[in-house]
Structure 1
Amino acid sequence: MAKVVLLSGNTQRPSKSRALAAFIGRSLARHADVELLSLDLLDAGRSLGGAYTRDELSTEARAVVEAIENADAIVVTTPVYKGSYPGLFKHLIDFVDPRALAGKPVLLSATGGSQRHSLVVEHQLRPLFGFFSAQISAYAIFAVDDEFVNYVPVADKLRERIERATMLFGEAF
């Protein structure tokens, strides 16, 4: 059974990004034998932003970093703020050992208010995880606010994209 971390860059709950990650996880579970662990910036705690080195991380933040490093695969979902992922999300990723993600399957996804934000996946998330030499899925997911109702992805085309992406991603491990 593969351990898959559903990592979301949200800073509040409920969150469309966390909801998308959960929905992707459930879809993935239909295609692969996986154990899912949902984590977000709130799980790392407020002290994350005050840490300059890994030694300064709180117990909660260190647990999130170690879960990312020890996962067999990762689903990354982040909200888009002003054309980018949240700075605190990047700060968390900066604590991940670069060798820990080498060859690790990663599925990228993001949520945003409009399609104008969709390039964040290709222009920022893909290079970020490419730096780590992760095995990045060719198929990414971007969802806009109007594709959700009460934090549930309801748009048929979004559900189809998720199904296709998770079917392919499940073959990576």
Structure 2
Amino acid sequence: MSRPLKTVIVNGSLHRPSRTQVLLDALRDTLNDQLALDVQNIELVSLLPELGAALSTDALPAHAHQAITAIEQADFLIVGSPIFRAGIPGLLKHLFDLIDMNALNGTPVLLAATGGSQRHALVIEHQLRPLFSFFQALTLPIGVYATPEEIQDGEVTSAALQQHIQRTVDLAVPVLHSIQTRLPLRNSVLEAQAA
């Protein structure tokens, strides 16, 4: 029996509550139906204002440093971002600027975003996917984007969005299951590289 995937969910919203968190929760719950996950949530809003003033991890308070470490040590990341004026929040990008450039090599990442209209849906492909490609992370093939019409009163209300979430998870699970069964091998390789 393999151990649960150490999963870190990063919510790039600067607000609480947020539609982005609702989307991330729906993804987590759907994944939990098929995989064993050990989940840690990181909300960007809880790292403010110190994150914005930090030019290195040395300048971060303990709770922000712990968030960075959790991201770097995750087996699997789910990253969600609100989109405003065709972009992700600068502080979300700054958070990943502080991540060690080799830490996410081969780490699977599921991408999600929320925005005011479908006009922003391609930000997943044009900003988030290239960011994680830089880290040589394994971005899963389908991202999930949601609008205010699809998430209302703190829940996913669109049947089409629920189907898209399910399809995304169905495509992700074989990859994640494969990685889950190889975790001892991956951890040995990482330890050897660090030595």
Q: What interval of TM-score do these two structures reach, taking the shorter chain for normalisation? A: over 0.9
Aligned to 1:38: 41
Tell me the SS of whatever aligns to 2:127. helix
Aligned to 1:28: 31
Stretches of structure 1 that go unaligned for 5 or more consecutive residues are: none
Cα distance per residue 1:56-100 (max 9 Å; x no partner)? 011121111111111110011000011100000001010111111
Letter of the structure 1 residue corresponding to residue 38 of structure 2: E
Tell me the SS of whatever aligns to 2:175. coil
How many angstroms apart in 1 are the aligned matches of 2:170 and 2:8?
A: 17
How many angstroms apart in 2 are the aligned matches of 1:117 and 1:167?
A: 24
How many angstroms apart in 2 are the aligned matches of 1:19 and 1:98?
A: 29
How many angstroms apart in 2 are the aligned matches of 1:7 and 1:52?
A: 20
Higher Rg? 2
Stretches (4+) displaced over 6 A: none
1:152 maps to 2:186: no
Q: Which of 68, 74, 77 lines up with 2:77 in the alignment?
A: 74
Matches within 5 A, 1:90-129: 90-129=93-132
Verify the 8 A CA contact 1:84 1:124 in the aligned structure 2.
yes
Letter of the structure 2 residue corresponding to residue 147 of structure 1: E
TM-score (ref. length: structure 2) = 0.86
How many angstroms apart in 1 are the aligned matches of 2:66 and 2:174?
A: 28
How many angstroms apart in 1 are the aligned matches of 2:32 and 2:101?
A: 27
Aligned residues: 173
